[in-house]
Amino acid sequence: MLALTAVAAEVHAQNAPAPRRQFLTVSYDWLYTWPLHFDKFPLEDILGVPLDDTDPPYDYRSEDGRTLVAVERFARRNRAVSAAVYPFGLSTGPTLGIRGSIEQLPEIRVQFDGASPIASYTFTSGLAYDIGAGVYVADRSGGWGLGAYSFLVGGIGRVTSDERSGRRYFAEGGGGLQSGPFGFELSVKFGWNKFSEPLEHRFLTVPINMRATVSF
């Protein structure tokens, strides 16, 4: 009986349609962003002194008590569009992927009370233009069968906003499910954003990305 089952499974696998190679995936992304180490980047970069948590209506205070910081806004929900190209095709096993995206960055509004080189900090209408490359590992099914894949990508980008422009580096890892050309993807992306105005500073963004995808 076991031998017959094994033979039947092998015959089914041989008769199953092979997954067609895909060369392009486009997606619409929903982002929920965490402000990782926001007290250090950008606040301590701007003030030049260490900060501690404090009581409302403020969020942070300097260790010497001379400066109070109120984070009035950090918009967590944002959107993006992205595309991934697979020069050698994506079917089963590992392959090279090149990913590009245009991503909204969180709107930030911060007020400083006391000793500070600036009275307030704003970052509005921010966009990140990213390009990167990495490895995709797929186990796709033929036809409308359910398949899966995972990926790890790193790259560079350019940032624009109403107030300033800068550059950034990023790394992203995740995976998804796919049936035919349609899929759903979940990933986490670490973005290291660097600026020189009004003085040199950085901030980290860690969006959780949910993507609706179409592949060709």
Please write the tens of the pLDDT for every residue from 34-69. Answer: 888 999 999 999 999 999 999 999 999 999 999 999
Residue 8 has pLDDT above 90, yes or no: no
Rounded mean pLDDT of 28-34?
A: 96
Distances (CA, A) of 72 to 98, 110, 121: 37, 6, 10
Which among 44, 26, 150, 157 has a CA at the least distance from the CA of 104?
157
Task: Please give the Cα distance from 40 to 170 (Å, whole number).
Answer: 18
pLDDT tens per residue across span 94-142:
999 999 999 999 999 999 999 999 999 999 999 999 999 999 999 999 8
Architecture of the domain made up of 2-215 = Beta Barrel (2.40)
Tell me which residue has tokens 């039947």: 8
Q: Tell me if the bond preceding 198 is cis, omega within 30° of 0.
A: yes
